[in-house]
Amino acid sequence: MAVVSLRNVGKVYPPQAKDGASVTAIADVSLDVEAGDIYGIIGYSGAGKSTLVRLVNALERSTSGEIWVNGQNIAALRERDLRQVRLGIGMIFQQFNLLGSRTVARNVAYPLEVAGHPKEQRAARVAELLDFVGLSDKAGSFPDQLSGGQKQRVGIARALATQPSILLADEATSALDPETTHEVLALLKRVNAEFGVTIIVITHEMDVIQTIATKVAVMDQGRVIERGPVFDVFSNPQAAASARFVSTVVKGIPSPDELAVLRERHAGRIVTLAFRDSAVDQKAVFGEFSSAGVAFEVVYGGINEIQGRPFGHLTLALTGLDPLIDQVLAHIRTLTTVTEVR
C-alpha cells in the first residue's frame, strides 16, 4: 500500500515583482511511495526535489494536485489540522536544525513535548532513542559541542521520537564528509529495517541512492523524468539526466572527450559491452574473443553491484583483422548489448 501518494502535484510561486513571472517549482508530479520503501529522489540544485519533500509534510503548500499521506489528502487540510499529521512524519535536514539553546536530550524530547507526552514518559523515550543512535553519553551536551555526524544522529533521534511511520531526509548527508555520510546512511538503513519506517531521501549524490535506496525518482526542472527500482535505473538509465547521474558513480559508455583520450593511447576498434545481472555471462563473452583470435584490452568502465546484483559497462580496445572482429561482435550481440564507439 502506498503510504505517500502524490497525484498531479504542482507548486507555483507567485511573481516576486509586480510584472515578474511566476515560478513553477513542481509541475505535475505523480509518485507512489510504498510502505517500507527507501525512496530516493535525486536531481540537481533547483530541480525541485527539496520543495517536493517539503510538500509531503506541508512545510510548503502545493498549489495543485493531491497529496495522500497515510490515507489522508493533506493538500486539503488547514494548518491547524496539519499539526496532527506532522506527528506521524519525521524530518531531518541538511543543516541539522537542532535547537542551540537546548541540550541533546531536550532536543530529542521536543517533539514529545509538542505531542503532549507526560514528563516521565519523555525521559524514558529519550534515553531509548539516544541509545539507538549511540549518543547516550552526549545527553547533556549542547549541539555546538557535537560533530556534524553526531548532530545528524541527534536529528534522527528527534525525528523518530513520536514513532512516525514516515521519515523525510532532506539532503541529510550533504554537509557531511564521506565516512560520516556512510555512518548516517547505515543508521537510516537500520531505522528502515528495525522500525519499518518508510524513508524518502532527497539528494544530489548518486552514491547515496546507490547505498540505501530501493527505488529512485530522477527530477529535472520540477518534473519526475524517470523512476523505478534503483537497479533498473542504474543499469539502464533512459533519460539523459539520469544517465549523467549514473555516470557520477558508474562509468558507462565513454563520452566524446574521454574517447579522444582513449584513442590517443589505444589503436584498433573500441567497443562498449553492457553487463547486466547474471543474464550476461562474462566468461562466454570473453571466450568469444579468445577463440576467434581477436586481442582485447579493457580500457574503460567497471562492474558495480546494487543490492547484490552486479551490472556495469566495459569498454574494450580490439586489435585484429576487421572482418574477424565484425564476425565476433555479431556473435556477442546475441549475448549482450554492444556499442561501437568511434
Partner 1 sequence: MDALIDLLPELWTATYETLYIVALTLFFGGLGGLLVGLGLYLTRAGSILENKPLFFVLNLLVNFIRPIPFIIFLAAAQPLARAVTGSGIGNNAIIFTIALAASFAMARIVEQNLLTVTPGVIDAARSVGAGPIRIIFTVLLPEALGPLILGYTFIFVALVDMSAVAGYVGGGGLGNFALLYGYRQFNPIVTWAAVLLIIVLVQFVQFFGNYLARKALRR
Q: How far is the CB of 87 from partner 1 (least distance, A)?
A: 5
The Cα 322–Cα 327 span in angstroms is 9
Q: How far is the CB of 162 from partner 1 (least distance, A)?
A: 7
- The DSSP bridge pattern shows strands 295-306 and 338-341 to be unpaired
Give yes or no for a contact between 63 and 71, defined as CB atoms under 8 angstroms apart.
no
Helix axes 148-160, 104-115, angle to 10 degrees: 20
Give the nearer residue to partner 1 in terms of CB position, either 18 or 80.
80
Give yes or no for a contact between 254 and 313, defined as CB atoms under 8 angstroms apart.
no
Give the nearer residue to partner 1 in terms of CB position, either 103 or 336.
103
Residues 133 to 162 in contact with partner 1, rule: CB under 8 A? 142, 144, 158, 161-162
> In what order do the strands lie in the sheet containing 38-42?
89-93, 166-170, 198-203, 38-42, 215-220, 223-229
Q: How far is the CB of 111 from partner 1 (least distance, A)?
A: 4
Give the nearer residue to partner 1 in terms of CB position, either 86 or 227.
86
Residue type, 336: T
Stretch that binds partner 1, among 39-47, 92-100, 208-216, 252-260 (CB under 8 A): 92-100
23 counts as binding partner 1 under rule CB under 8 A: no
Residues 105 to 124 in contact with partner 1, rule: CB under 8 A? 110-111, 113-115
Q: Which of 11, 49, 86, 151 binds partner 1 (CB under 8 A)?
A: 86
Residues 165 to 194 in contact with partner 1, rule: CB under 8 A? 168
291 counts as binding partner 1 under rule CB under 8 A: no
Q: How far is the CB of 86 from partner 1 (least distance, A)?
A: 4
Q: Which residues contact 72 (CB under 8 A, 6 or more apart)?
A: 85
11 counts as binding partner 1 under rule CB under 8 A: no
> In what order do the strands lie in the sheet containing 23-34?
23-34, 2-13, 64-69, 72-73
Report DSSP state, residue 233.
H
Q: Which residues pair with 308 in a beta bridge?
A: none
The Cα 192–Cα 185 span in angstroms is 11
* Contact mark string toward partner 1, 24..63, x via CB under 8 A: ---------------------------------x-x----
Backbone angles phi, psi at 32, to 5 degrees: -120, 125
77 counts as binding partner 1 under rule CB under 8 A: no
Total residues at interface with partner 1 (CB under 8 A)? 31
Query: Residues interacting with partner 1, by CB under 8 A?
Result: 57, 59, 80, 82-87, 89-91, 93, 95, 97-102, 110-111, 113-115, 142, 144, 158, 161-162, 168
